Chain A
Amino acid sequence: MSSATSHRAVPAPQKIRESVKQKSALPWLTLPALFFFVVFAVVPLVGVLALSFANWDGIGAIGVAGMENWTSVLSDPELYNSLGLTFMIMIVSWLVQTPISLLLGVFTAGTQRYRAALAVLYFLPLLLSSAAVAIAYKALLDPNFGLAMGLGLPFLAQDWLGVPQLALGLIIFVIAWQFVPFHTLIYQGGVRQIPKSLYEAAQIDGAGTIKQFFHITLPQLKYTIITSSTLMVVGSLTYFDLIFVLTGGGPGNSTRILALDMYLRGFRANLMGPASVIAVILVVVGLALALFLQRLGGKDQQGSQLEGM
């Protein structure tokens, strides 16, 4: 070391020590999070995996079942019905919710006062609990005592929740009604992040509103779309309360999605082993979907969205 550096280093050791301290403290900062992750995620996960190879009615002693639960669940047509319904609700919900919340998000991103007022209105459904939403819709849709008869509109008095196709469609509608506000909020935030200068430049070049939307807004929202879609898709695996209250999985098995199937097997039929198998399947499907959606974003997702402007 030269004397020049030692001169300048008079106040430095303190700083260096501090920065070293900070660096070495960083791993410790993750400990609380790690603790909760292990206690509330890893331990139950291992427990469920173990239970999926066990015989348990939820009350008596736990016995070893080997592969029995897995073979019986995997050969059960009900599983594939539930799996199909889960994907159906997932895909149709995405197709319904994404355009609506994207357009609403773009619309409410403006700063006019009336837009702010409307944004508050749009946001209201999200403030209600799923159970309350389900009970309210159930009462409104009752073909004999519901809204249709109250308003004297008998053509609306369909057996909404009693016909398999109608019930499924209705569930997708109610899910959209409840969750569009949340995704609207995400898109609103995304749109507000887009630099004004891009639009100003486009306007100078003579691009209209529609051109601006497709050439600036939509590409700039790429990562917002991926974030919102990930939440939508992975979240749709856990739609439970709404469907449980609205249809209970019926009529027949026409709305018995995977999460509901797991609950009914475990807590109604006392089959904790097979229910755990379904729980494991849910985890695997959820992880696979989340990873797939991350891949869609590509590696450059880590970089800045504003690069090259």
Chain B
Amino acid sequence: MKQFQSSRRSFLALAAVTPFAVMATSACGTSGPGSASGGGASMWFLTGEPNQTTMQKAVDAFGSANPDNKIAVTYFQNDAYKTKIKTAIGAGQAPTIIYGWGGGGLKTYADAGQVEDLTSWFDSNPDLKNKFFPSSFGAATVDGKIYALPNQYVAPIVLFYNKDLFDKAGVQPPKTWEDLMSLVKTFNDMGVAPLSLGGQSRWTSMMWLEYLLDRIGGPEVFQAIFDGKPNAWMDPAVIETGTKIQELVSADGFIKGFSSITADSKADQALLFTGKAAMMLHGSWTYGAMKKDGQNFVQNGKLGFVNFPTIAGGKGDPKNGVGNPAQYMSISAKATDKEKESAKKFFKDGIMTDTVVDAYINSGSVPIVKGIEAKLDSSPDKDFLNFVYALGKDAPNFQQSWDQALSPTAAEALLNNIDQLFLKSITPQQFAENMNATLGK
């Protein structure tokens, strides 16, 4: 009798515990490959509107059209995601679809054999390949092989300005570096900060260097750095770029306290639309955010935008752009064949549908899809969209953001040294030397 009781008790305990154990194992599984419901693929994407909703709608639409290939998405914050995805790939727990920015990060994955080579798949799907801007494939390519699908939108860096403040000062947006330096004086005399900058984020300061180096030395200088040529960072154009930056800092070009402002908080954008700062060099993606947060600043036509100024004697074409040519999605090499098939199907039929393209245009972005001129023209934001489209399409050279183009090791050293360059705690010469030591790392 006793025996029976105790065995019944343990049986009951077992019965009570089993569902939890099953739940726990299946819950663990969703973060790894091979466990998305319906045998489909898993994907990690970024939080933040409007893109999160756009992506969720695309995934839902694809899932209802392809019940056997549903995509399970998990959302992460941008900075947290960058660390998480690296750790997950290193631990063999990557999702089927790896979202990223191409360039140096993608090269790390490709070199470690963690992402699928999509070259032959693109060759057998020429319609898909021809759908996108050719320039968007550069950062998806490592050693001549395509490892990622370009998607979403082109995001060049643009010089934004506050039209109200320019009217009040009776000045025109800068065409040359001299114009910019004299505007710095004009606005400082008016008691307005000439340039907004979220310097604590560091990649925000980097955007100034990218354009300056391109205008001064042409795209060849960074190409040599990218290729890891010996002493590529010691080019005189790099040192002149650093000198110009420090001149701008010394002339109080950037708002007081710029090194404690972060881009995540969007305080830098707020400085521009509240009239505390006259100009801001920032990614085109801030247009949509300012439209949403700026209390009709954008809608009333107060936001101006121009190309980065030219520099006397500079070698670079003033039409050159820098920024993000697109965003990228790769397929984990560790995923099962079934998951890979689901992911490829999603790449082909689900990710850049007409609905998604319209959603991006509505949020003030230019999708990387060809033949959208008519759609852009009918948008209320057509001035800005056409400006960005032309910049992306007509640029003789479109340089990918340095922190994405370089290897993670070199990128972290770069951001650290840029921070010190802006604080004037190192000289332009030291900046070049420090960076030169990272070549090939």
Interface, chain A (partner B; CB < 8 A): 57-61, 138-139, 141-145, 159-162, 164, 167, 247-248, 250-253, 264-265, 267-271
A59 with B420, Cβ < 8 A, contacts A144-B271, A144-B276, A247-B200 known: no
- Contact A252–B420 (Cβ < 8 Å): yes
- Asked whether B296 is an interface residue with its Cβ less than 8 Å from the other chain, the reply is no
The answer on a CB contact under 8 Å between A251 and B419 is: yes
Taking the closest CB of chain A, its distance from the CB of B401, in whole angstroms, is 16
Q: With A248-B200, A252-B425 in contact, do A60 and B260 touch (Cβ < 8 Å)?
A: no
Q: Determine if A58 and B270 form an interchain contact, defined as CB atoms under 8 angstroms apart.
A: no
The chain B residue with its CB closest to the CB of A135 is B265
Q: List 12 A-B contacts (CB under 8 A).
A: A59-B90, A60-B111, A61-B112, A138-B262, A142-B260, A144-B255, A247-B200, A250-B419, A251-B199, A252-B419, A267-B87, A268-B412
What's the nearest-Cβ distance from chain B to residue A144, in Å? 6
- Residue contact A145 to B111, C-beta cutoff 8 Å: no
Please state if A269 and B423 are interface contacts (CB–CB under 8 Å). no
Does B416 interact with chain A (Cβ within 8 Å)? yes
A59 touches B257 (CB 8 A): no
CB pair A160–B260 under 8 Å, yes or no, is yes
Known contacts: A159-B257, A250-B200, A251-B259. The answer to whether A145 contacts B419 by CB under 8 A is no
Distance in Å: Cβ of B141 to nearest Cβ of chain A: 19
Which of A57, A59, A142, A160: most chain B Cβ within 10 A?
A59
For residue B109, CB closer than 8 A to chain A, the reply is yes
- Are B108's CB and A144's CB within 8 A? no
Indicate if the CB atoms of A162 and B257 lie closer than 8 Å: yes
Q: B90 and A58: CB pair below 8 A?
A: yes
Residue of A nearest to B415 (CB): A268
B52 at the interface (CB under 8 A from A): no
**Would you give the shortest CB distance from B3 to chain A, in whole angstroms?**
26
Q: Which of A139, A144, A267 has the most CB of B within 10 A?
A: A144
- Nearest residue (CB) in B for A159 is B257
Chain B contact residues, majority secondary structure: helix
Tell whether, in the assembled complex, residue A269 and residue B412 are in contact, meaning their CB atoms are under 8 Å apart.
yes
Q: How far is the CB of B285 from chain A (nearest CB, A)?
A: 21
Tell me which residues across on chain A come within 8 A of B202, comparing CB atoms: 250
Q: Is the CB of B260 within 8 A of A161?
A: yes
Q: How far is the CA of A145 from the CA of B273 in the complex (A)?
A: 13
Closest 6 CB pairs of A and B: A60-B112, A161-B260, A269-B412, A162-B260, A159-B257, A162-B259
Binding site of A, secondary structure by majority: helix, strand, loop or mixed? Answer: loop
B265 to chain A, nearest CB (A): 8
User: What A residues does B265 contact at CB under 8 A?
Assistant: 138-139
Interface residues on B, range: 35 or more
Question: Which of chain A's residues have a CB closer than 8 A to the CB of B260?
Answer: 141-143, 159-162, 167, 247, 251
Complex contacts, B261 vs chain A, CB 8 Å = 142, 144, 162
Please give me the residue from chain B that is nearest to A78 by CB atom.
Answer: B416
- Per-residue 0/1 for B401-441: is the Cβ within 8 Å of any A Cβ (1 yes, 0 no)? 00000011101110010011001010000000000000000
B419 cross-chain contacts in A, Cβ below 8 A = 250-252
Say whether, besides A161-B200, A267-B87, A59 and B114 are in contact (CB < 8 Å).
yes
**Docked-complex contact A59 and B109, CB < 8 angstroms:** yes
B97: shortest Cβ distance to chain A, in Å? 17
Q: A247-B200, A270-B108 are in contact. List 8 more A-B contacts (CB 8 A).
A: A59-B90, A60-B111, A144-B276, A247-B260, A250-B200, A252-B425, A253-B420, A270-B86
* Cβ-neighbour of A145 out of B109, B267, B408, B413 (below 8 A): B267
Q: Which residues of B contact A144 (CB under 8 A)?
A: 255, 257, 261, 267, 270-271, 276
A59 touches B112 (CB 8 A): yes
Given A144-B267, A251-B423, A268-B412, A59-B108 contact (CB < 8 Å):
yes
Q: Within the assembled complex, what's the spacing in Å between the Cα atoms of A58 and B260?
A: 30
Q: Which residues of B contact A58 (CB under 8 A)?
A: 86-87, 90
> By the criterion CB–CB under 8 Å, are B200 and A145 in contact?
no
Encoded as 1 (CB less than 8 Å from any A CB) or 0, chain B from 96 to 131 comes to 000000000000110111100000000000000000
Please state if B409 and A271 are interface contacts (CB–CB under 8 Å).
yes
Q: Which of B200, B411, B425 has the most CB of A within 10 A?
A: B200
Closest to A145 in B: B267
**How far apart are the CA atoms of A250 and B413 in the complex, in Å?**
14
B89 on interface, CB distance cutoff 8 Å: yes
Q: Which residues of A contact B113 (CB under 8 A)?
A: 60
Residue contact A59 to B89, C-beta cutoff 8 Å: yes
- Which B375-413 residues have C-beta < 8 A from chain A? 407-409, 411-413
Whole-angstrom CA separation of A251 from B89 in the bound complex: 31
